[in-house]
Amino acid sequence: MHRYQILVEYVGTKFVGWQKQLKGKSIQKEIENKLSKLLKQKIIIYGSGRTDAGVHAIEQSAHFDIKLKIKEIKKLIKSLNFFLNPKKISIINIYKRKQQFHARHSAKERVYKYFIINRLAASALENERAWHIRKKLDIKLLKEGAKKLIGSHDFSTMRAKNCYAKSPIKKINKITIKNIDKKIQIEFRSKSFLRNQVRSMVGCLKYLAENKWDIKKFEHIFKSKKRSNCAPPAPAHGLFLAKVIY
C-alpha cells in the first residue's frame, strides 16, 4: 500500500463539517467520492481533525492509502479540482508519505485563525468569512485576556457538552492578535483543541473586550470549569483551520 498526504482548502458554509455524517454534505465525503472515481478504487481519507459546520480551512491535512503508486500527481490534482472547485473545495497539493505518517496522530501543532470585522458596516467582500461586530473592541483587553489562556489549563468552561475528548486539559502554545484596518485576526496554536474550544475562547474574549466582563470576571469564569458560565461561542463562519504542522 502507498500512503499520500493531501492538503485541502475549503469554504465550509454549505457543509455539515469535514467529517462524514448520515445526513448532509461533508468535505470528506466529497473528496472521497472524487478520489475513488479517479483512482478506480474505494478511497477513505483520514483528516487531521474535524471542523464543524460552517468552519473553513486554509490548509486542512488528510491522508489516504492506495494499492498502486500514483504516477502523475499534478494530473490528479487538476482532475480533482475540476470537480471540486465548483463546490468551493480546492486540493492544494498531494505528497507521497511513509506508512508511519498519520494526518491526525503525527500532528505536532494545529493553527486556527479567527477573523472579526470590527466596524459599523458589514463587509460585502468577506460575508460569511468573518464575525461582524459593530461595537468597538478594546484590543488591549483582548490581548490581556488571551495571555490568561496561554499554557496548560482545564478548559471545561470552553468545552462543548458533546465533546468526546478524554481530558479537558489542553496546552495553548501561543495566541497572536493583530488589528489591521478594523479587521482583527486572532491566531491560536496548540497540539490539539477541544470541540468548540476556539469559538468559545473567542466568545469570552469578545465579552471582555466590549467591557461586559472585567479581567477578574473573565478569569473567574475560565477557572470555574462550568460550561454554563461561558459566553456564547463565536459564530462558525469566522473560524479557519490555517495549518497543521508535523
Tens of pLDDT, residue by residue, the chain (246 residues): 999 999 999 999 999 999 998 889 999 999 999 999 999 999 999 999 989 999 999 999 999 999 999 999 999 999 999 999 999 999 999 999 999 999 999 999 999 999 999 999 999 999 899 999 999 999 999 999 999 999 999 999 999 988 888 999 999 999 999 999 999 999 999 999 999 999 999 999 999 999 999 999 999 999 999 999 999 999 999 999 999 999
Span 68-97, pLDDT tens digits: 999 999 999 999 999 999 999 999 999 999
The 8 Å CB, 24+ separation contacts for 33-40 are 34/80, 34/83, 34/84, 35/64, 35/80, 38/76, 38/79, 38/80, 39/66, 39/70, 39/76
Looking at the fold, whether 122 and 90 belong to one and the same domain comes out as no
Nine-digit cell string for 22: 448520515
- Predicted local distance difference test score (pLDDT) of residue 161: 87
- Position 67, amino acid: K
- Predicted local distance difference test score (pLDDT) of residue 164: 85
The residue whose grid cell reads 472547485 is 85
108 within a domain of the structure (yes/no):
no
Residue 24 φ then ψ, to 5°: 95, 160
- Predicted local distance difference test score (pLDDT) of residue 186: 98
Looking at the fold, whether 160 and 219 belong to one and the same domain comes out as yes
Looking at the fold, whether 118 and 38 belong to one and the same domain comes out as no
103 within a domain of the structure (yes/no):
no
Span 153-194, pLDDT tens digits: 999 999 998 888 899 999 999 999 999 999 999 999 999 999
102 within a domain of the structure (yes/no):
no
Q: Give the Å distances, CA to CA, from 95 to 87, 100, 181.
A: 23, 14, 37
Is 52 a known active-site residue?
Answer: yes
Domain coverage including residue 92: 2-97
* Helix runs in 40-163, H state only: 73-84, 139-149
Final residue in a domain of this structure, among 37, 70, 97 = 97
Q: What is the CATH number of the domain that holds 36?
A: 3.30.70.580
Residue 77 buriedness (CB in 10 A; 0-12 / 13-18 / 19+): middle
Nearest 5 degrees, angle CA 202-CA 130-CA 233? 30
Global pTM value: 0.95
Looking at the fold, whether 193 and 78 belong to one and the same domain comes out as no
Report strand pairing: 239-245 vs 56-66.
parallel
Q: In sequence order, which residues have a C-beta less than 8 Å from that of residue 163 and are 6 or more positions away?
A: 194, 195, 196
Nine-digit cell string for 153: 489549563
Which among 52, 138, 181, 214 is annotated as catalytic? 52
Q: What is the count of structural domains for the chain?
A: 2
Looking at the fold, whether 75 and 141 belong to one and the same domain comes out as no
Q: What is the CATH number of the domain that holds 198?
A: 3.30.70.660
Looking at the fold, whether 159 and 231 belong to one and the same domain comes out as yes
